[in-house]
Chain A
Amino acid sequence: MPFFSGVGEPVGAVIGAAAGAAAGAGAAAAAQAAASSSGRLRIEPDQVDGAITVFRNALANVEAEVAQARSDITAFAPAGDAVSNDVASAFNEVGTTNALAAWEGAIEQLRSIIEQLEAAKQQHLTTDAGNAGMLQQPSA
């Protein structure tokens, strides 16, 4: 499961293996470069905004691919020969179920990563604001 480092640690966010795969799917060069050999993605605090953008773009692209694939299935026109019809039947009976499950998994994972990055960003901002407030306290 993806997770993030605790507040105050130098790393802004650490995401599990799924994030690396998702970043690759989204052609996120920066995120890919940051992927560690363990399959986790380490994101420095100043890179969180960029990472959020990368994963939002990845989500938009995956959702567009899914929308197009669904339309292609609905508008599918079998060639009329027996082989085409057999392939179409097999896909309709099994393929659509499997395809939908795969799409749901990918999209849920991307949404989860974005939510966690946004939470990490918010937590970082809150911590920074708290530290700044402490520094501004007049000494007794």
Chain B
Amino acid sequence: MNPRPALALTAVLAAVVVAGCGGTENGSPTTAPPTTSAGAPPSPGGSNGSGTQRPGEIDLAGADPCAAVTEQQAAAWAVDRAPIAKQMGASTAIAGAPSCVFGSSAEQTTFLIATSGDVGLPDFVEATPPSPTREEVEVDGFPAVVQEGVTSAPERGSGECYAVVDVADGQLLLVQFSQVAAGADKRLPLDSLCAKAREVAAAALTTLQGG
């Protein structure tokens, strides 16, 4: 087991910038305001009620996370089985939010996508335990945090990393990319898992914007 500091339980308002999850930024910030997943007129980018800078707003209310990446997009991560719909647990900061798990038996990887239409990134960060690996990033111009999960043991092929994206005031997209006991020839370092979580998040943003 990779030694991990015990998580403090005091909530923090700001994300802590600590080295940990690297990876390159996926895609470039969108300059044109995107359309919403529901097809409603997009909210303008730039300033909004919270002052958060985004290239636009994506309405995730009622969004289906199993449809957040297309079959064509999923092929990039060698997904070779049907997505499985799940739901975030009752004791989580986004309790009841729909989630969906995609898997690759060939690569021994899975990724999970969750969409919350009523909890935003600042509230998520405040409500959940702080992580020493939490890093502020952007995914396609949207503010996001990336952090490693606590059940990681890279030496045994087990790791998890998250990208949580601020898509609109009070709404977020969460992506987890992970492995459990992956074979020696399949193992990915944690920074690769983090990079892939961001890739999946970028793909999901494209799909959810109607692209």
Does B91 count as interface, using CB distance less than 8 angstroms?
yes
B86 touches A70 (CB 8 A): no
A77→B105 contact, CB < 8 A? no
- For B94-112 the 0/1 string (1 means CB < 8 A from A) is 1100010101010000111
Would you list the 9 A-B pairs with minimal beta carbon distance, nearest first?
A72-B89, A75-B92, A64-B101, A104-B181, A77-B93, A77-B127, A64-B84, A100-B151, A67-B112
Selected from A72, A78, A89, A96, the residue in CB contact (under 8 A) with B88 is: A72
Whether A75 contacts B151 in the complex (CB less than 8 A), given A88-B9, A97-B1, comes out as no
| Min C-beta distance of B89 to chain A, whole Å | 4
- Contact in complex: A78, B9 (CB < 8 Å): yes
Q: For the complex, count residues of B whose C-beta is within 8 A of A.
A: 44
Contact of A100 among B1, B88, B105, B129 (CB under 8 A): B1
B170 to chain A, nearest CB (A): 16
CA distance A85 to B110 in the complex (A): 30
- B32 interfacial contact with A, CB 8 Å: no
- Neighbouring B residues of A60 by C-beta, 8 Å: 81-82, 84, 103, 105
* Chain A contact surface mostly: helix
- Which chain B residues border A77 with CB–CB below 8 Å? 91-93, 95, 127-128
| Contacting pair B9 A64 (CB below 8 A) | no
A59-B105, A63-B103 known; A76 vs B174 contact (CB < 8 Å): no
Contact assessment for A74 and B91 in the assembled complex, using a CB-CB cutoff below 8 Å = no
Q: How far is the CB of B124 from chain A (nearest CB, A)?
A: 7
Q: A63-B110, A73-B149 are in contact. Are A92 and B101 (CB under 8 A)?
A: no
The total of Cβ contacts below 8 Å across the A-B interface reads 119
Considering only CB atoms, which chain A residue lies closest to B83 in the complex?
Answer: A64
Task: Assess the A67–B181 pair: CB atoms within 8 A.
Answer: no
Cross-chain contact B91 with A107 (CB below 8 angstroms): no
- The answer to whether the Cβ of A93 comes within 8 Å of any Cβ in the partner chain is yes
Cα distance A66–B153 when bound, in Å?
A: 15
CB pair A96 B110 closer than 8 Å: no
Give complex CA distance A60, B7 in Å. Answer: 30
Contact digits for A76-116, partner B, Cβ 8 Å, 1 yes 0 no: 11100000010011001100110110011001100100000
B101–A63 CB distance below 8 A? yes
Interface residue B140 (Cβ < 8 Å from any Cβ of A)? no
